[in-house]
Amino acid sequence: SALLEVKNLQVSVGDREILHGLTLSVNPGEVHAIMGPNGSGKSTLSHVIAGKPGYDVTGGQILFKGEDLLEMAPDVRAAKGVFLAFQYPVEIPGVATMTFLRTALNAQRKARGEAEFSTPDFLKRVREVAASLNIPQEMLKRGVNVGFSGGEKKRNEVLQMALFQPSLCILDEMDSGLDIDALRVASEGVNALRTPDRAMVVITHYQRLLDYIVPDHVHVMSKGKVVKSGGKELALELEANGYAQYQEAAA
Ligand code: ADP
Ligand code: MG
Ligand code: MG
């Protein structure tokens, strides 16, 4: 059965409706790309799945592993295996990245009823994963995302994903602000996390990212809905013909 099922989701901020009945079904092992123009509601969808406050769900349902996700607090969603890599990762001055990773990881393990990592085990894991992502040890001593370049922030998000081992990874415009080398490293990190029981939702405005993270399914969002779904060839078709046809269809 589906890992994530979004059914006819309607979401408002204040008195403005942003998602107007969005439906999406993601099975374990699949990579789904969500493409769409700026303002189509891609980040809103990712925020609502992760449980970011400030959104009113006025209709529809989200099931994760068959359970009502909207009933769960954000930390419970994370413990159950939902991970969102934000389009704009937050900076946390005064909290070293290493300390943040350890605290967050142990909190999740505790919520899952798993034992905390010992200090040597934790350090070993972080160092291995960081090395695979070209993240220097020095970066892990700095405040979370403080003074990180765009590429470093995204690699830090992939590092978190690799440590937390979520069952659903949502990547919101991971490619924004990345040069081609940084994009390649981050994408390789994501691809290394593809497994038969983990799913990924890759949100992007551009087709380029999907040359690196090749999706099984592509969905086009326009004006708060999925207006077309297809295979990976749909991304190429969009690159060639643009979003305008779908915006007219959605209006
Ligand atoms: P995308 O990620 O596809 O660019 P967003 O989800 O960020 O789109 O935004 C979708 C629409 O919702 C946009 O018109 C945006 O202005 C609006 N929107 C998003 N967040 C808020 C908010 N907190 N308050 C008011 N409007 C918002
Ligand atoms: Mg945007
Ligand atoms: Mg966005």
* Atom 25 of ligand 1: nearest residue by CA position: 13
In whole angstroms, what is the distance from residue 152 CA to residue 45 CA? 25
Nearest-CA neighbor of 41 among 24, 63, 66?
24
pLDDT digits (tens, 9 = 90+) for 77-106: 999 999 999 888 889 999 999 999 999 999
Query: What are the backbone angles phi and psi of residue 129, rounded to the nearest 5°?
Result: -65, -40
Residue type, 145: N
> Nearest CA to 75 among 40, 99, 51?
51
**Which helix or strand (DSSP H or E) is residue 247 part of?**
helix 244-250
> How confident is the model over 66-74, as a mean pLDDT?
97
Round to whole Å and give the CA distance between 144 and 122.
Answer: 18
Q: What is the pLDDT of residues 28-51, one digit of tens each?
A: 999 999 999 999 999 999 999 999
pLDDT confidence band for 133 (50 / 70 / 90): confident
Task: Determine which residue's CA is closest to atom 13 belonging to ligand 1.
Answer: 39
| Assigned architecture for domain 4-250 | 3-Layer(aba) Sandwich (3.40)
Q: What is the ipTM of this complex?
A: 0.96
**pTM for this entry:** 0.94
The pocket around ligand 1, CB under 6 angstroms, is made up of 13, 16, 18, 36, 38-44, 54
From the CA of 90, how far away is ligand 2's center (Å)?
Answer: 16
Cα(170) to ligand 1 centroid in Å equals: 17
Residue 31 contacts residue 215 (beta carbons within 8 Å): yes
- Atom nearest to 173 CA in ligand 1: 2
Q: Distance between CA 226 and CA 6 in Å, rounded?
A: 11
Residue whose CA is at the smallest distance from ligand 1 atom 5: 41
Burial of 131 (0-12, 13-18, 19+ CB in 10 A): exposed
